[in-house]
Amino acid sequence: DLDPSWYLGQVTRGYAESYLRRVRKDGAFLVRDSSTSSPTQPYTLMVLYQDKVYNIQIRYNSDQRTFSLGTGLNTIELEVRLKPVTFEQRQQL
C-alpha cells in the first residue's frame, strides 16, 4: 500500500525545506503541491543531499497520462498509478 507520509500537500517551499533540514539525512525527500498551481506542473519533489535541498518539478502530460521529473533535456518519464491521498491518511510532522 502507498505510504502517504512523503506527501505534504499545500505547504510553502520554506516550510518543506525546513522540514527536510530537520531530518538531516541524505536522500530524504518529500512531495508538495507546486506553488505554480498549474495542471501541467502540479507537484514539486524536494530532495536533501549533502546539506542542500533540490527542488525538482513534477510535470503532468494529460495527453499521455504520464508524469515527468525535471525540465528540458534532463527529464525522466514515469508511469504512475495514482491513488488519492486524503487528509486523514497524512501523518503529523
What count of residues does the chain have?
Answer: 93
Q: How many domains does the chain have?
A: 1
Note down the domain range covering 15: 4-89
**What pLDDT, on the 0 to 100 scale, is given for residue 14?**
95
Q: What mean pLDDT value characterizes the chain? A: 79
pLDDT for 52 beyond 80: yes
User: What DSSP letter does each residue of 62-85 carry, written as one string?
Assistant: TTTTEEEESSTTS-EEE-------
CATH number at residue 77: 3.30.505.10
